[in-house]
Amino acid sequence: MSDKKTAIVTGGSRGIGRAICLRLAKEGINLVINYAGNHEAAQDTKTACEQLGASVVLVQGDVSRAEDCEALFSAAAERFGRVDIVVNNAGITRDNLIIRMSEEDFDRVIEVNLKGVWNMLKLAARAMMKQRYGRIINLTSVVGVTGNAGQSNYAASKAGVIGMTKSLARELASRGVTVNAVAPGYIDTDMTASLSDEVKAMVKNNIPMGRTGRAEEVAALVGFLAGDQAGYITGQVVHVDGGMVM
- List active site positions: 154
- Of 190, 217, 193, the closest CA to residue 13 belongs to 190
Pairwise CA distance, residues 203 & 219, whole Å: 21
Pairwise CA distance, residues 87 & 20, whole Å: 9
Pairwise CA distance, residues 183 & 138, whole Å: 9
Q: Residue 27: which residues within 8 A CB-CB, separation 6 or more? A: 223, 226, 227
Q: Judge whether 24 and 54 are in contact, CB under 8 Å.
A: yes
Please tell me whether residue 78 adopts helix, strand or coil conformation: helix
